[in-house]
Amino acid sequence: DAKTTQPPSMDCAEGRAANLPCNHSTISGNEYVYWYRQIHSQGPQYIIHGLKNNETNEMASLIITEDRKSSTLILPHATLRDTAVYYCIVRRTGANSKLTFGKGITLSVRP
Amino acid sequence: EAEVAQSPRYKITEKSQAVAFWCDPISGHATLYWYRQILGQGPELLVQFQDESVVDDSQLPKDRFSAERLKGVDSTLKIQPAELGDSAMYLCASSLQGQGHYGYTFGSGTRLTVV
């Protein structure tokens, strides 16, 4: 599976949009981009995933560039509860494909 | 909402002692994973089960770690003997047939401290 690169940390003000970048320049055509987050002392939680089209659900939006070499996770109205480590993961489809985590990006939402 | 249950939530043990963690996946999830997370790092896969069979244990330190899922339902991860470097969060996750994202549900983990 392709590797991802994320900045170590960022912060944003409560109520504002949080835009979390991810670089995956070696992504293959059959690899999806996944985002998970981990709130302190809890297990990771699935947020969203996509292949090449932009995706949106009740938690977030995922914007993938046309060349698929990078993506941005958008939390439209960040709250204090969104403070967490966010992991961008590239993963193939298939029964034995695994979730391989990097260090992620620590998002701090300030009041 | 269905959850992956793990116990204990916290465990403190002396080095060279044996320690065991238990995981009960979501009912019907055939695939079960054990991850280890060292403070400040992302989770690292230790072992993957498909029903009662081990699919991948390439990252499991087999000299001291063992994992089993005898009836293809709940699972136990054991460390014997524990070392100081084993201090970490041990996370269990389950999935439907190992495919797709929807089935990857994590438990809250067991935080192990070896003293």
Give the pLDDT confidence of A74-87 residue by residue, as tens digits: 999 999 999 999 99
Chain A nearest CA to B45, separation (Å): 7
CA B75 vs CA A10, A47, B12, B36, B78: distances in Å = 37, 26, 20, 15, 10
Interface test with chain A among B33, B34, B51, B101, by most A beta carbons within 10 Å: B101
Compare all CA atoms of chain B with the CA of A48 and give the residue at the minimum distance. B101
Mean pLDDT, 10 residues at a time, chain B of 115 residues: 92 98 94 94 94 94 96 95 97 78 82 98
Contacts of B40 in chain A (CB under 8 A): 103
Report how far residue B105's alpha carbon sits from residue B63's, in angstroms, rounded to the nearest whole number: 28
Report how far residue B83's alpha carbon sits from residue B85's, in angstroms, rounded to the nearest whole number: 5
A45-56: per-residue pLDDT in tens? Answer: 999 999 998 999
Pick from B33, B26, B30, B52: nearest CA to B97: B30
Chain B nearest CA to A101, separation (Å): 5
Say which residue, A95 or A39, is predicted with more confidence: A39
A96 touches chain B (CB under 8 A): yes
Report how far residue B59's alpha carbon sits from residue A12's, in angstroms, rounded to the nearest whole number: 37
Q: Per the structure block, which two tokens stand in for B50? A: 């498909």
CB B103 within 8 A of CB B30: no
